[in-house]
Amino acid sequence: MIAQASDLIKIAPGFWNALRRSGVAGHDVAARAGLPVEVIDEPAVTAAQYFAVWQAYTELVGDAAKGIVALATAYETAQYPPSVLATYHARDYREALYRTVRYKQLCPPESLTVREEGERCSIDLNWSDAGMAGPPVLVGVTLAYLLELGRRGTGRRLTAQRVEFAQPMGDARALEAYFGCPVRTGAKRNRLTLHRSDLDRQFVSFNEEMVEMLTPALDRSLDERLHGRSMTETVKQAMKRSLSGGRLDVQAIAKQLGVSDRTLQRRLEGEGTSFKQLLAQARREQACGYLADPSLSMKEVAFLIGYKDQNSFFRAFRLWEGRTPTCWRAEHSVAEPASER
């Protein structure tokens, strides 16, 4: 099946130059990925090709941690694509991060969720497909870039509070030296936690004229992409990414999508639904998906769909499915017929 244009993923030319600066030849990456060398000049690739490129780089550098640091620091600011330049020239670190989350929607399959709480600002890396997990270096570079953005924008060597990776990432000491904080692997999520006070730091790279020039075109592209599917689908996807993050209300989701909460609610009403209905649907769908994984406890499933306690989850699930989560799991754990495997 031929991929639709909206499903293709752009690889910026600066990526290939950064590979070269980090000591890895682009044609070697293409060969390792089983792709023609012409992929280097392709404006966009399929998700399978995109992951193959990152996996090939991971294998060529040998140690994922060293590959992450090398690539994050080798990328030249002048070669950032427009969606990144619009964040680099923001007024401060906070504005840059929220712009990054917004425009990341133009570059699937990964997406970002930001949450500010107390002295911390946590940014979670999610995947558009819940069953998808990107190669280690892609995960690491994505989180490293967020810190690199703050460092380059403020002109200060900022450090993170904590970094969590779901996968093994190689030499943890190299990552701790780069991020300036403890790095944990084997976690339940991929998360970068920053010092919230750093978000108020002004960017020395602030350029109002550049932002005003880049923003309209990016917003039009994003609007076209988001309106390619209904607001109902867009909001539900955003909810699923944010379920375990704590605060999940109209204002938080609207901020993620770059619209006002009134606009979001009006659009949902026009499609015959509401925020409350979609939240229940998102939780129900995610709950069934998680319950199908026997390695997850009921407490973990409750947490992952945004419930603070197991009892609240059980009550909600009874309303959705007419039975307890335990019964549902037992009924759906029956082995499939051999012909369906």
Q: Are residues 63 and 155 in the same domain?
A: yes
Q: Quick check: is 174 in a domain? A: yes
143-178 pLDDT per residue, tens: 999 999 999 999 999 999 999 999 899 999 999 999
Amino acid residing at 148: E
Q: Are residues 182 and 244 in the same domain?
A: no
Q: φ, ψ for residue 125 (rounded to 5)?
A: -95, 125
Q: Quick check: is 44 in a domain? A: yes
Which range (46-55, 113-122, 214-223) has the least confidence? 214-223
Mean pLDDT of 214-229: 74
Residue ranges making up the domain that contains 332: 230-341
Among 200, 217, 247, the domain boundary falls at 200
258, pLDDT greater than 70: no
Among 144, 179, 200, the domain boundary falls at 200
3, pLDDT greater than 60: no
239-252 pLDDT per residue, tens: 887 786 656 788 88
238, pLDDT greater than 90: no
Residue 175, Cβ density class (10 Å: 0-12 exposed, 13-18 middle, ≥19 buried): buried
284, pLDDT greater than 50: yes
DSSP state of 202: B
Q: Are residues 161 and 61 in the same domain?
A: yes
Band (pLDDT 50/70/90 cuts) for residue 5 is: very low
337, pLDDT greater than 60: no
Q: Are residues 99 and 195 in the same domain?
A: yes
Q: Quick check: is 65 in a domain? A: yes
Comparing 102 with 223, the larger pLDDT belongs to: 102
Q: Quick check: is 70 in a domain? A: yes
pLDDT at residue 121, rounded to an integer: 95
Q: Quick check: is 179 in a domain? A: yes
Q: Are residues 249 and 160 in the same domain?
A: no
Comparing 237 with 146, the larger pLDDT belongs to: 146
Q: What does pTM read for this prediction? A: 0.66
Among 182, 200, 218, the domain boundary falls at 200
Q: Say which CATH number the domain at 323 has.
A: 1.10.10.60
Alpha-carbon separation of residue 38 from 16, 31, 81, 163, 200 (angstroms): 12, 11, 20, 36, 43
Residue with tokens 């603070």: 308
30-84 pLDDT per residue, tens: 999 888 888 888 767 887 888 889 999 989 988 899 999 999 998 888 778 888 8
Q: Are residues 45 and 166 in the same domain?
A: yes
Which range (78-92, 284-298, 321-335) has the least confidence? 321-335
- What is the number of structural domains in the chain? 2
Mean pLDDT of 209-231: 77
Comparing 182 with 10, the larger pLDDT belongs to: 182
Q: Quick check: is 207 in a domain? A: no
Q: Are residues 33 and 167 in the same domain?
A: yes
Angle at alpha carbon of residue 126, lines to 291 and 138, rounded to 5° = 125
Q: Are residues 188 and 292 in the same domain?
A: no
Mean pLDDT of 307-333: 88
Q: Are residues 15 and 139 in the same domain?
A: yes
Q: Give yes or no for a contact between 149 and 199, defined as CB atoms under 8 angstroms apart.
A: no
Q: Quick check: is 225 in a domain? A: no
pLDDT at residue 199, rounded to an integer: 96
User: Chain-wide mean pLDDT for the chain?
Assistant: 84
Q: Are residues 281 and 172 in the same domain?
A: no
Q: Are residues 163 and 237 in the same domain?
A: no
Q: Quick check: is 111 in a domain? A: yes
283, pLDDT greater than 60: yes
pLDDT at residue 267, rounded to an integer: 85
Q: Are residues 43 and 117 in the same domain?
A: yes
